[in-house]
């Protein structure tokens, strides 16, 4: 692919004129998004079909990626431990069972204690984080926020009942809601078929 403009010039044009990459997929002139009617903008891709292809857009962004990555700040997250635990809030039908399995594996690999339902003798139908010692460095499951908050505040020696928020790293996964509800609806039927 050979475009008439260098990648840096192309990116500058895109940012200055608010050209969305989707608009580059056709050979028509680029369009600036506005609240009123869309206004045509002169574009380096007008009439140059090969420069408006998806491959060309990927090439432009790909060429600029190393420079953009070099400008990102380097940050290191604090290490997970009992005073600053990692919590995975597993929403049903979002692929969380696989994440929980990997969490338990990683916790053991790094010698961290974990409390994850369906592993290490923790009952599968556990929705409340354990409120009393022993406390853990890794929690994961279909957990209620209030139970996690109380357990971690106790774990960190902070009075439960105030507006305090415990120190923790947390993570969850969202899924497109319609397919998630459909999956929740069909899951019991699949379990019944597996049993019979």
The whole-number pLDDT of residue 36 equals 39
pLDDT category, 39, cuts 50, 70, 90? very low
Burial of 2 (0-12, 13-18, 19+ CB in 10 A): exposed
Average pLDDT over residues 39-54: 47
Mean pLDDT lowest for which of 18-32, 43-57, 92-106, 175-189? Answer: 18-32
> How far is CA 81 from its chain centroid?
22
Q: How many CB atoms lie within 10 A of CB 125?
A: 8
Residue given tokens 């961290």 in the structure block? 112
pLDDT at 19 over 50: no
Q: Is 69 left (phi over 0), alpha (psi -120 to 50) or beta?
A: alpha
For residue 28, give every residue at least 6 positions away whose Cβ sits within 8 Å of its Cβ, in sequence order, or none.
46
pLDDT at 78 over 90: no
Mean pLDDT of the chain: 75
Burial 93-119 (b: 16+ CB within 10 A, else e): beebeebbeebbeebeeeebbbbbbbb
pLDDT at 101 over 90: yes
Q: Which one is predicted more confidently, 83 or 31? A: 83
Q: Determine contact, residues 89/149, Cβ cutoff 8 Å.
A: no
């Amino acid at each position: 692919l050979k475009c008439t403009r260098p990648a840096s010039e192309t990116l500058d044009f895109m940012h200055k004129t608010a050209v969305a990459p989707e608009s580059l997929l056709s050979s028509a002139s680029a369009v600036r998004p506005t609240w009123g009617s869309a206004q045509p903008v002169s574009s380096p891709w007008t009439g140059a079909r090969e420069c408006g292809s998806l491959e060309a857009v990927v090439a432009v962004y790909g060429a600029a990626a190393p420079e953009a990555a070099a400008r990102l700040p380097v940050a290191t997250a604090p290490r997970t431990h009992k005073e600053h635990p990692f919590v995975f809030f597993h929403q049903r039908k979002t692929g969380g069972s696989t994440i929980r399995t990997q969490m338990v594996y990683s916790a053991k690999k790094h010698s961290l204690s974990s409390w994850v339902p369906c592993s290490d003798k923790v009952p599968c139908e556990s929705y409340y984080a354990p409120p009393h010692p022993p406390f853990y460095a890794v929690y994961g499951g279909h957990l209620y926020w209030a139970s996690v908050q109380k357990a971690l505040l106790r774990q960190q020696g902070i009075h439960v009942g105030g507006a305090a928020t415990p120190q923790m790293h947390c993570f969850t996964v969202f899924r497109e809601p319609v397919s998630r509800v459909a999956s929740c609806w069909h899951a019991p039927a699949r379990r019944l078929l597996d049993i019979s």
